[in-house]
Structure 1
Amino acid sequence: MSIPRHFDLNLLRVFETLMRERHVTRAAEKLHVSQPALSHALKRLRESLDDPLLVRTESGMQPTPRALALLPVVQQALAMLQEGLAPPASFSPASSTRRFTLATTDYFEEVMYPGFLSQLLTYAPGISFSIELITPEVLSEGLESRQIDMVVGLDSQEELPGGVLQAPWMHEELVCLAATHNQGVGEALGIQQFSRMMHVELADISGLRPSNIDSCLTQHGLTRRVISKNLNYIAAARVVALTDAIMTLPRQMAERFIAMLPVRLVEPPEELPALNMTLIQHALHANEPSIAWLNQQLIDFARAFNGRA
């Protein structure tokens, strides 16, 4: 039994209500339409299905055999539509055993992640996380395929693959780190001296664009010599501790190294931009309840973190 071509699916609800009420006026009231409007809808149903559907008898309006055969089919179709169009089930952190996969920066993993995870486990004890590196493949394929749920802490990017959503998250002041034995740098650096120094920096594993520092120097007609590109901050800081090079990094990360290594803070050139970190996800999955929940938790944590930093 197939639906005729060009059948108006809006008439399915009319049909189901008419079969249930078996009275045009009562059906109109149930559907919150006028009696003439419902009579017109019944006429269209009869024409589309080539059957009277409801026939007036001495005991009231009675359905035809065709109508009775159609009724369970229509009811099942309406139930499936209602289920399919219903909002997705809300995420329940207290009972969830969801494992989230984050691609993150060294800064987030070292400075923020331990406290973030500890806080979440107090009211979402069954969740867990996997931490991955941010790579070009993560941004172009990993987010779309759900191998990665979110990218956390990447500096704001002007260009991202199609479908990828980027939102501001938090910012951090940049400082320079120098060895305590390094007599070539004082307590602060001007941009000219900064450009003449040897530098250690983190490799841009995202592969998206030159660093903000190099872009800033280019705007001032300057360049710098990078003697080492490292994959993590601790390795880079150890290079700084043993050489006359400097590195530029978020203040809260730098402060951790002062207690660990023979290094000190140096104020950077005022021209250098702040670190503007973002949350990145894919539009295909942004409304999925667990992802929306995680996104809000990260926003709330960053707000509280900035407040106490």
Structure 2
Amino acid sequence: MYSKLDLNLLRVFDVLIQHRNVTQAAQKLHLSQSTVSHALARLRNQLDDPLFVQVGREMQPTDKALLMAPAIQQALLLIQQGVNSQASFDPAQNAKHFRLAVGGAIEHTYIAPLIQYLGEFGSHLRLDVFELTSSDYEKELERKAIDLVIGFAGSGHLSPKLVKTHLLSNPLSCLTPSNFITEKQGEISAEELVSLPHIYTSSWGHSQQLMDQYFGQRQLTRKIAAQVPTFAAVPGLLMGGNYLVMVPKMVADQLCQLYPIKQLTLGTDEINVSYEIAQHPLTSHDAAINWLKQAILDICQNNLK
């Protein structure tokens, strides 16, 4: 039976599993509805199972179909990966337009060194950087709208189907006005943290969620004065003397070098944010994307030393 299976039928099966609708599957495959229905009929006959049963407006998969689905999806991904694989990538010779999605802290700290590094090879290498969103990025990476994503480890943010590599961990620090007084030199207590309203530095963000958990565990509530999408407004707000802000230490280090503001740690309550690089299994053998991934790893490690 296996030797008679047509890979095109398995592709139809995979799309039907995802959409549970013949019309939507046909649109996704750029085929007519009758062609998809005919392919399903052939597959039903070869596998001796109905595979999908119409329930209301949805095609519900049978137990056999649900059992087959993960293996078929993985097989199709491996075939596509093999077809798309690139033997080698020479950054000095090969032109490439990379697309990377990152959070604000990574953009603030590491994107400039990365772009400068790419620029050493010439103008044939380009990097477009996109703001991290609440998407799980599976579809964006699958259709290659994005090559790599730098997201938060352990947050449940990125799809479990993606290939992930640890990038770095960084503790959260509190940025305060330069005249902010604390009981312990260089540190700030949980109680002192709620003495001034906070600036929430993200449209959404894992680090701010970690801080909300931190306060919740201590039965404390911080007041949010404003929410901003980047760190651009933070120095001016802090120099006014009326706000506090929690940011990764790598961001705090840079801002304190440029502005008259102060950085305080949480002491023994240190909260670490871990970042990871995610890519789609389809590109795990793509030489150009793997070159960019290694460049990011090297730049982050070198800058942390």
Q: TM-score range by the shorter chain?
A: 0.5 to 0.7
**Partners of 1:229 and 1:236 within 8 A in 2:** no
| Residue number in structure 1 paired with 2:8 | none
Alpha-carbon deviations, 1:26-49, whole Å to 9, x = none? xxxxxxxxxxxxxxxxxxxxxxxx
C-alpha deviation, 1:150, in angstroms:
1.0
Q: Aligned residues, how many? A: 227
Alpha-carbon deviations, 1:58-106, whole Å to 9, x = none? xxxxxxxxxxxxxxxxxxxxxxxxxx77963212222111010111122
Aligned AA for 1:293?
A: W
| 1:245 has 2:250 as partner | no
Alpha-carbon deviations, 1:156-205, whole Å to 9, x = none? 42353352233210122322111124457864211232244321121244
Question: Cα gap change, 1:296/1:101 in structure 2, threshold over 3 Å: closer, same or farther?
Answer: same
Alpha-carbon deviations, 1:120-169, whole Å to 9, x = none? 33346521101111112472532222111111254542353352233210
**Gaps in structure 1 of 5+ consecutive residues:** 8-83
- Counterparts of 1:181 and 1:6 in 2: how far apart (Å)? 76
- Counterparts of 2:218 and 2:237 in 1: how far apart (Å)? 27
2:140 to 134, 139, 142: 142
Paired residue secondary structure (2:166): strand
| 1:194 has 2:193 as partner | yes
Paired residue secondary structure (1:174): strand
| Residue number in structure 2 paired with 1:36 | none
Aligned AA for 1:202?
A: T
TM-score by length of 2: 0.64
**Partners of 2:135 and 2:157 within 8 A in 1:** no
**Partners of 2:199 and 2:245 within 8 A in 1:** yes
**Gaps in structure 2 of 5+ consecutive residues:** 5-81
**Partners of 2:171 and 2:270 within 8 A in 1:** no
| 1:235 has 2:233 as partner | yes
Question: Cα gap change, 1:85/1:232 in structure 2, threshold over 3 Å: closer, same or farther?
Answer: closer
Greater Rg by CA: 1
- Counterparts of 2:114 and 2:191 in 1: how far apart (Å)? 39
- Counterparts of 2:85 and 2:144 in 1: how far apart (Å)? 21
Paired residue secondary structure (2:188): coil
After alignment, is 226-235 or 164-173 more displaced?
164-173
| Residue number in structure 2 paired with 1:169 | 167
| Residue number in structure 1 paired with 2:261 | 263
| Residue number in structure 2 paired with 1:226 | 224
Paired residue secondary structure (2:263): strand
| Residue number in structure 2 paired with 1:203 | 202
| Residue number in structure 1 paired with 2:66 | none
**Partners of 1:191 and 1:269 within 8 A in 2:** no
- Counterparts of 1:268 and 1:230 in 2: how far apart (Å)? 23
- Counterparts of 1:86 and 1:280 in 2: how far apart (Å)? 18
Q: Share of identical aligned residues, percent?
A: 18
